[in-house]
Amino acid sequence: MAASPEPEPEGNPERAQRVRAIVAEHRDARGALLPVLHAVKEEMGYVDPAVIPVLADELNLSRADVYGVITFYEDFRQTPPGRTTVRVCRAEACQAVDAATLADHARSRLGIALGETTPDGAVTLDQVFCLGNCATGPAVEIDGRLHGRVTPERLDTLLASAPREADA
C-alpha cells in the first residue's frame, strides 16, 4: 500500500515546494539534513516547524529525527528573527573578559532574554559559544558582522546604529 503524501505546511504550499527544491539540491550530500537545514535557514531566515513533515518525508527520516536536529543546534531557530540579530559570544575566552556582564547589559537594554526578539521585531538577541574571535573578546556579531573588545557602552553605540525600522 502506498504511503499517503505528507500534508503541505498549513496554508503555505509555496513554502513546501521551495523546501522540496532545497532538499533536491542537497539530496546526494552525505548527511543531507544539515546542509538542507542550513539552506532553508539561509533562504527563509528560520526553519518553520510546519516544514518538518516535508523535510522528514523528503529525506526519509522521522519527524522526531528532524525536530531533534533542529532543536539541538542553536543556529536553527524556529521563529522569524528580528530585523537585526545580535549574537553575544559566551565561550570561555570571552567569559574570561566579562562576556557575562555584556550579555546582562544586552538583555537589560533590549528588555528581552537571550533567544528572544523585541516585541517590535527589531532585534533578536542570541548567545553563541564561539565566534572565533577569542583574542579580542568579548565578541559580538551583529547582522553577520563581527566586533571585538565590545564593552557595554560600545554595544549601545552598535545597537543605536543598527536599523530599527522595517524596510518600506
Q: What is the mean pLDDT of residues 85-95?
A: 96
pLDDT surpassing 80 at residue 13: yes
| 103 in Cβ contact with 88 (< 8 Å) | yes
pLDDT digits (tens, 9 = 90+) for 24-37: 999 888 899 999 99
Q: What is the pLDDT of residue 75?
A: 85
Of the candidates 117, 42, 120, the one whose C-alpha atom is nearest the C-alpha of residue 87 is 117
Instruction: Find where cell 537571550 sits.
Output: 114
Distance in angstroms (rounded) separating the CA atoms of residues 137 and 88:
10
pLDDT band, very low/low/confident/very high, at 2 (cuts 50, 70, 90): very low
Q: What is the pLDDT of residue 4?
A: 46
Q: What is the pLDDT of residue 162?
A: 80
Q: What is the pLDDT of residue 36?
A: 97
Residue 116 is inside which H or E element, if any? strand 116-117
Alpha-helix residue ranges (DSSP H) falling in the chain? 13-26, 33-44, 52-59, 63-72, 92-95, 99-110, 152-161
pLDDT digits (tens, 9 = 90+) for 154-163: 999 999 988 6
pLDDT surpassing 70 at residue 106: yes
Q: What is the pLDDT of residue 168?
A: 31
Q: What is the pLDDT of residue 25?
A: 96
pLDDT band, very low/low/confident/very high, at 71 (cuts 50, 70, 90): very high
pLDDT digits (tens, 9 = 90+) for 109-150: 999 999 999 999 999 999 999 999 999 999 999 999 999 999
Average pLDDT over the chain reads 90
**In terms of pTM, does the model score above 0.75?**
yes
